[in-house]
Amino acid sequence: MTSPRRFLLIDDHPLMREAMASLVRDVEPAAELVQAGSLAEGRRLAGSGRVDAVVIDLQLPDGDGSLLVAEFRQRWPQLPILVLTASEDLGRVRQLIGAGASGYAPKSAGHATLSAALRLVLAGQTYVPPMVLAMPPPAAEADADAETLAAEQDARATAADGSGRLTPRQLDVLRLVCSGLSNKHISRELGLAERTVKVHIGAVFRALGVSNRTQAAMVAQARGLID
């Protein structure tokens, strides 16, 4: 018999954590719930036991929740992570998805919408509210947003594949990383937005199982990914 999933709920307000718990129980009545009120507590609980899914707020007393999103995504590439926050800023949403969030939903959304978002991320998909997607980005940012979104989709495909294979663009970025170029210089070399480069680098690090450029170069050399 499959054991119930263990959800980590992170928010500094007890009432909000109870709302998160109610949301999870609505989707998975038998779920095991653990709660944290800060980045430090969330990090500690995640390291002390199994974590099958995370629901997290961004405004935490000891830092921004996106830091944990990025940490958890690097540690557990396929972990469902749903961000619930008051922000509805399109740039912020894209930043969160790029950091590794599986989905984003505003706290103001109805229970049915939040339940649908949670079900979607638990199924391994990405959720972003239609009202956010409908917000037109500034014209100067439209192309950069499109390429970043494509990079995020590549990153998810690479993580889901689990074999460590990289896309051609990820390999391009890896080779330039191994050449010692900074993100800014890589963006100029490849004609990409710097935030798109960051998404590619994050995907490469996760696929190679490394946490920095030096380790990436060593693994890439060992696997014959670079000359």
What CATH number is associated with residue 31?
3.40.50.2300
Range of the domain at 143: 139-222
Q: What pLDDT sits at residue 99?
A: 80
Count of C-beta atoms within a 10 Å radius of residue 74: 16
30 domain residue, yes or no:
yes
Judge whether residue 51 has pLDDT over 50. yes
Q: Is the pLDDT of residue 132 over 90?
A: no
The residues that bridge with 10 in the sheet, in sequence order, are 36, 56
Q: How many domains are there within the chain?
A: 2
**Is 227 among the domain residues?**
no
The residue type of 224 is: G
Question: 172: burial class by Cβ within 10 Å (0-12, 13-18, 19+)?
Answer: middle
* pLDDT tens for each residue of 120-131: 999 988 888 776
* Residue 90 placed within a domain: yes
What is the pTM (predicted TM-score) of this model?
A: 0.61
Q: Where are the beta strands (DSSP E) in the chain?
A: 6-10, 32-36, 53-56, 59-60, 63-64, 81-85, 103-106
Domain boundary among 133, 152, 184: 133
Task: Identify whether residues 30 and 109 lie together within a single domain.
Answer: yes
Q: Are residues 110 and 162 in the same domain?
A: no
List pLDDT tens digits, range 175-185: 999 989 998 88
- pLDDT attached to residue 140: 46
- Compute the half-sphere exposure of residue 215: CA atoms within 13 Å on the CB side of its CA: 10
Token pair for residue 125? Answer: 């998909």
CA dist 63 and 128 (Å) reads 23
The answer to whether position 144 is within a domain reads: yes
CA angle 119, 72, 186 (to 5 degrees): 110
pLDDT value for 35: 96
Structural domain contains residue 1: no
DSSP 8-state secondary structure symbol assigned to residue 209 = T
CA-based torsion, 82, 85, 88, 93: positive or negative:
negative
Per-residue pLDDT at 143 exceeds 60: no
Do 116 and 153 fall into the same domain? no
Whether 81 and 58 share a structural domain: yes
